A = this chain, B = another copy of it.
Amino acid sequence: MNNIFIIGVGLIGGSFALDIKKQNSSAIIYGIDKNKSHLDEALALGVIDEKASFKELEKADVVIVAIPVDATLKVLPEVLDKISENAIVFDAGSTKEDICAVVKKHPKRRNYLAVHPIAGTEHSGPSAAIHGLYRNKTNIICEVEETAFKLQEKALKLFSQLGMRIRYMNPKAHDKHIAYVSHLSHISAFMLGKTVIEKEKNERDIFDMAGSGFESTVRLAKSSPAMWTPIFEQNKTNVIETLDEYINNLKHFKKLMEDGDFDAVYNEMRTTNHIKDILNGIQ
């Protein structure tokens, strides 16, 4: 397992590169990225060992595709075309249904493992890559039965070295659940940021008053639009459903306030406080 190819040397791909190199000192990390300055930066930062091209994929033992999910639909089949019989390819996309569908009939489908590591930060690019990003994080694997057993083992060993917890799910269920727990959070943060920026023309006021909670709630609004737009596009139906429910809950809360029913307002919050117990242990 020496030749590791990272396609997309940003936060996700770069963090895989750093930890794999740390765990396997004999590994050579090859970087591929359509953004040449990112590639130079990743090399300069020591995130990758060498710049590479698609032609070289035939010598890959492992290929990690960590690019926006729309690009993955195009690139993943091309990668499978080029790899050897013994290579394992996995992606890290936040959607799984469309990606699994696009390689469903590919002759090398059994060389691909559909993966979504639930990890990240609001930063992006090679300089955002960090050691230990995946430690104690959940890694969702979809359609595991479609991947050759020997290659599953290879990938699982790598995930285990990085300290990840594995959960198996079908792509449809994945996309539905993740819409609630991840995609909706991003929209809620972006629209919160928008609402405040629109209103507070004086940015100094936002900065001065943001301490008490705004900053963490809006954190995800720093995320990359280039990464998130295709996620929302591919998971459109589920995301719209979560937005509907979120908007309805907000309207209900507003109605309770308009009616002056502050006992009910209290109960809305009291019931949701239960999130504390659910999240205990995540930090």
Cβ of A36 within 8 Å of any chain B Cβ, yes or no, is no
Copies of this chain assembled into the complex: 2
A178 to chain B, nearest CB (A): 6
**A140/B247 in contact, CB under 8 A:** no
User: Which residues of B have CB within 8 Å of A122?
Assistant: 213
**A190/B138 in contact, CB under 8 A:** no
Cβ of A192 within 8 Å of any chain B Cβ, yes or no, is yes
A137 to chain B, nearest CB (A): 5
| Chain A interface, >50% SS class | helix
**A180/B196 in contact, CB under 8 A:** yes
**B250/A217 in contact, CB under 8 A:** no
Q: Taking A118-B208, A194-B272, A279-B207 as contacts, is the C-beta distance between A200 and B181 under 8 angstroms?
A: yes
**B209/A185 in contact, CB under 8 A:** no
| Interface residue tally for chain A (C-beta within 8 Å) | 94
**B265/A215 in contact, CB under 8 A:** no
Cβ of A56 within 8 Å of any chain B Cβ, yes or no, is no
Cβ of A236 within 8 Å of any chain B Cβ, yes or no, is yes
What is the CA–CA distance of A218 and B271 in the complex, to the nearest angstrom?
14
A:235-283 near B, CB below 8 Å: 236, 239-240, 242-247, 249-251, 253-254, 257-258, 260, 262, 265-276, 278-279, 281-283
Cβ of A107 within 8 Å of any chain B Cβ, yes or no, is no
Cβ-closest chain B residue relative to A186: B213
A:179-202 near B, CB below 8 Å: 180-182, 184-200
Q: Taking A229-B265, A229-B266, A250-B187 as contacts, is the C-beta distance between A281 and B197 under 8 angstroms?
A: no
A123 to chain B, nearest CB (A): 9
A235 to chain B, nearest CB (A): 10
List 8 contacting pairs A-B, 8 Å CB cutoff, sorted by A: A177-B205, A185-B218, A188-B188, A188-B192, A190-B272, A197-B272, A215-B282, A228-B269
